[in-house]
Structure 1
Amino acid sequence: MPLFDHIGISVTDLPRSIAQFDPVMQALGCTRQDAENGVSWYLGEEELILFPARESGNGPHRHGHVGWQHLAFPVTSRDEVDRLHAIAMDAGWTDVRAPKAYPRFNERYYAAFVEDDNGIRFEFMFNPPREVDA
């Protein structure tokens, strides 16, 4: 059983957020499904849903405040981290941390962090298993 079934995110400007999220989510291999009051992307049974905020004027989210921190997407290579980072930049996301190694986590960890107009932060990360001595 997966840890999460779905993640719902409220956004200020749904059409703008769709324009930012769609290229990234499609690049992650997700399928988009539009609904009357939002849009979702799914991969297998996991789903990310965007909803319009119920109240205006209370965004964007500020990183480090109580609430959302970031969502990390594991990918298969450093090149894939670089590719997703470039796609996000082209879609209007803000570069928080360009792709680089994170030896403070371990010598294999490579990641990039991006943030959308709502302060929603994504991490694209490659962290292959440690080589096991035979």
Structure 2
Amino acid sequence: MPLFDHLSVSVSEVDDVIARFDPILTALGLSRSEGGNGASWYAEGETEFVVLPARDTASGPHRHGRVGWQHLAFAVASRAEVDDMHERALRAGWTAVREPKEYPRFTPTYYASFVEDADGIRIEFMHNPG
């Protein structure tokens, strides 16, 4: 049984978010399902990631460091995959926050990149062997 069942994120424009998330999540092996007013990505028997339109569209984008969403980290199999996922994200419309690099303050083998979208949603691609 997974640690948590699903993660749901409110966004300003569902279609734009689908275009940004789909190349990343499908490359990570998830399948997309659309229904109602949102979309979800899942792997059979695993956690689901859901996007839905924000109920309060006047709330504006989230700002990193404020109460709320910090970031979602995707663990990948290699440094090369961190680099590849970072490039996929940029091609899909994400903005680079931090280019792929080592983070020895976390562990001696931690390698990661960070990207953010127009809603202030930040994701990380990371590889930390051992």
Structure 2 length normalisation: TM-score?
A: 0.96
Aligned-pair CA distance for 1:43: 1.8
Q: Are positions 1:116 and 2:95 aligned together?
A: no
Q: Distance in 1 between matches of 2:60 and 2:75?
A: 27
Stretches of structure 2 lacking an aligned partner (at least 5 in a row): none
Per-residue deviation, residues 14-61 of structure 1 (Å, max 9, x unmatched): 111111111111111110000112100002321100000111121200
Output one character per residue of 1:64-101: Cα deviation in whole Å (capped at 9) or x when no partner: 00011001111000000000000000000010000000
1:83-102 map, 5 Å: 83-102=84-103
Name which one, 1 or 2, has greater alpha-carbon Rg: 1
TM-score, normalization: structure 1? 0.93
Q: Give the aligned partner of residue 8 of structure 1.
A: 8
State the match for 2:37 in structure 1.
Answer: 37
Partners of 2:121 and 2:70 lie apart in 1 by 8
Aligned CA-pair RMSD: 0.8
Distance 2:125 2:114 in 1: 7
State yes or no: 1:27 paired with 2:27. Answer: yes
Match of 1:126 in 2: 127
Structure 2: distance between partners of 1:6 and 1:77 = 25
- Mapped to 1, the partners of 2:73 and 2:82 lie a distance apart of 11
Give ranges in structure 1 of 5+ residues lacking alignment: 130-134
CA distance in 1, matches of 2:127, 2:60: 30
Structure 1 residue ranges, 4+ long, deviating more than 3 angstroms after superposition: none
Give yes or no for contact 1:17–1:117 (8 Å, CA) kept in 2.
Answer: no
